[in-house]
Structure formats: C-alpha cells, structure tokens
Amino acid sequence: MTLVNNDFHKILTERHSVRRFDKSIKIDREEMKEMLEETITAPSACNLQAWKFVVVDTEEGREKLHQYFMKFNFPQIDDSSAVVLFFGNTLAYKKYSQLWHSMYEEKKVTKEAMEAALNTFMPLYEKAPQQMLVADSMVDTSLAAMQFMLIAREHGYETNAMAGYDAEKAAETMGLDPKQYVPVMAIAIGKHNPKAEAEITTTRYSLDELVDFK
C-alpha cells in the first residue's frame, strides 16, 4: 500500500467535496479493498458493525445509479473512479452471537464476558422496533462513511458525499433487500479534474455559534 499523505491535520483540514472528477483515473479493486479494510475499523455501537458497502466501478453499475439518482449527481457518477454506496444493515444483530463466539475462540474475550455481552445486547436488538434498528445502523454507517472519506485522502483521492437519490429504490436497484438495508449515503471517489474550474471553498460558522459549555 502506498500512502500519499499521512499528515492527519492536512487530511482533515484540507478535505473538501469534489464534483469534477478526472475520468481517466482508475482505482483498482485491491486498493479499494485496502481502503475499505481500514474503513471497517470505524466505531460501532456494541460492535454490531451494522453496515454494508456496494462499490460501483463499472458502466453497468453506473447505469443502475442513473435509475434512482437525481440528475445533478450524474457528473460525479459518470466521471469519478467509483461510487461507494453505504447502507445500514438493520439485521446485523442476526450474526452477533457468531461474532462473539469467534472472539471467544480467538481468546479475545473470556467466556463470561461473551455471555454477559450476549445476554445484555441480544434481547435488546431482538425486541427492538424497526425505527431503532434503522437509527442504530445509520449511526454506525455514517461513522464508517466519514472514516472512508478521510482514508481516501490518505490514499491521495478526493470524495463527494451524495444523498440526492430516491431512497426507496436504492437497495432493490442494487440487488439488496430493502427491508434489511437502508441507504445512508453514496460517496464518489477519484481525483479532481485538473482541467475543470476550482471547487468552491466553503465558509463555516464560527465555533461560538455552535458550542455551549455547561
């Protein structure tokens, strides 16, 4: 793995949305997998890891995105190296017991700790209303999405988070069960087109407007 930037301050403060991508830039799937391997170290409530990623990097896949995305997002879809779709998995708890047993077998936790976790959290998720499962998965997946955008910069790429689409069509169009998977956002990734005009630099509200200390 070749990292272009490992200065975290620059990765963080110089990140901005890019909408004009260089269509000639390709990201091979091995590098994409590396970035997603780093992404799944993101924080996760109860270690549920309630996320699902779909990487769209083919013309066939982009045509599917055209079916439910708003037209103002088409340039990013068509010219970026890939579009990564982030879905929340509302049934992630179904594999939760298996996950903890794996951790126990790998001697990462004691049997007592495993049983305590399962006895505490499994009933909570098994009896949870759909609204809670959706909200929980969206928080997890949003954390992963933000981490992915920072990792992309570490690898020398820019991103654009997108939510301009018909959410009711997202999962089914991409071959997923819409009752299980909730669309959270899509992220276009690639490099800025050097021939395009510069991206807009935004102004942020002052911290005093946003923070209260109690």
Domain annotation covers residue 155: yes
Domain annotation covers residue 107: no
| Structural domain that includes position 78 | 8-91+129-195
How many separate domains does the chain show? 1
Q: What is the CATH number of the domain that holds 14?
A: 3.40.109.10
Paired strand residues for 55: 84
Domain annotation covers residue 203: no
Give the rounded distance of the alpha carbon of 49 from its chain centre.
11
Domain annotation covers residue 25: yes
pLDDT tens for each residue of 125-150 = 999 999 999 999 999 999 999 999 99
Reply yes or no on whether the pLDDT at 3 is more than 80: no
Domain annotation covers residue 191: yes
Q: With beta carbons less than 8 A apart as the criterion, state whether 85 and 188 touch.
A: no
Give Cβ neighbours of residue 43 (< 8 Å, ≥ 6 apart): 140, 143
36 burial type by CB count under 10 A (0-12 exposed, 13-18 middle, 19+ buried): middle
Q: Is residue 1 very low, low, confident or very high in pLDDT (cuts 50, 70, 90)?
A: low
Domain annotation covers residue 79: yes
Domain annotation covers residue 161: yes
Paired strand residues for 88: 51, 182
